[in-house]
Amino acid sequence: MRQGGGIATLTPEMLLGPLNDVEQKYAPARLFVAGPMEIPLPSPRVSIVGSRKASKNGLEAAKEIAKFLVRKKTIIVSGLAEGIDTAAHTSAISNGGRTIAVIATPLDKSYPAGNAGLQEKIMREHLVISQFEIGKRVFKQNFIFRNRTMALISNATVIVEAKDDSGSLHQGWEALRLGRSLFIWRDVLDDPSVKVPQDMLNYGAIRLDELEEILPSLPQNESFLEIAQ
């Protein structure tokens, strides 16, 4: 139902359609959304996630992946954090695409504060999703819950840059649990100091060397097939 200020309260099923037993296990009971994007969500949708303190190469990779996917009519999903998330959102917008921000705060708060303007823009023109009710406190574990929800609403996840303690790895494991495709950018796997993403390959994650490798994992509706060819 609609609340004041253009905020809608939805169940995950209203946002995504029917969920199976595995999807329901950690799905939030309700979601708060703001923005003009149609509901149920159009697809395909791909999460681009990674380090907050990203390297220059990581930021460039996130921008290029988002740009490529936008050209394939894919909606870019990310968490509105610093670094990789911000690069993914802004690249989607600057390249004429659409983006969804899944945040770890209520919709009336922004984290980091420096992304308040970007959050407002996405609310006006795209979509912002939170599972946290306005007025609630923000806890550290919110970010883990947020990553679970981001994996749920995405057809695939791409980890662009991460260390072994990166929050984006929570999303990677959740994507694998849900049976979603998880891609790990080559630079992550080529870093000898990072071990956990290597372990993910044993559970079905896919090394991403060429961006075209993402496309077969995405829903193949008619308009997507036309532009993917």
Give the start-to-end residue ranges of the domains of the chain.
4-228
- The per-residue pLDDT for 4 is 39
- The per-residue pLDDT for 226 is 45
Fold of 4-228: Rossmann fold (3.40.50)
pLDDT digits (tens, 9 = 90+) for 62-121: 999 999 999 999 999 999 999 999 999 999 999 999 999 999 999 999 999 999 999 999
- The per-residue pLDDT for 210 is 97
The stretches in the chain having pLDDT less than 70 are 1-5, 221-229
Peptide bond into 219 cis (omega under 30): no
The answer to whether residues 30 and 51 touch, using CB atoms and an 8 Å cutoff, is no
- The per-residue pLDDT for 228 is 44
- Ramachandran class of 80: left when φ > 0, alpha when ψ lies in -120 to 50, beta otherwise: left
Helices (H) and strands (E) in the chain, counts: 10, 9
Q: Give which of 83, 77, 74, 128 is closest to 99, Cα–Cα.
A: 77
- The per-residue pLDDT for 197 is 94
- The per-residue pLDDT for 145 is 96
Eight-state DSSP code of residue 138: P
Query: CA 207 to CA 197: how far, in whole Å?
Result: 10
- The per-residue pLDDT for 5 is 46
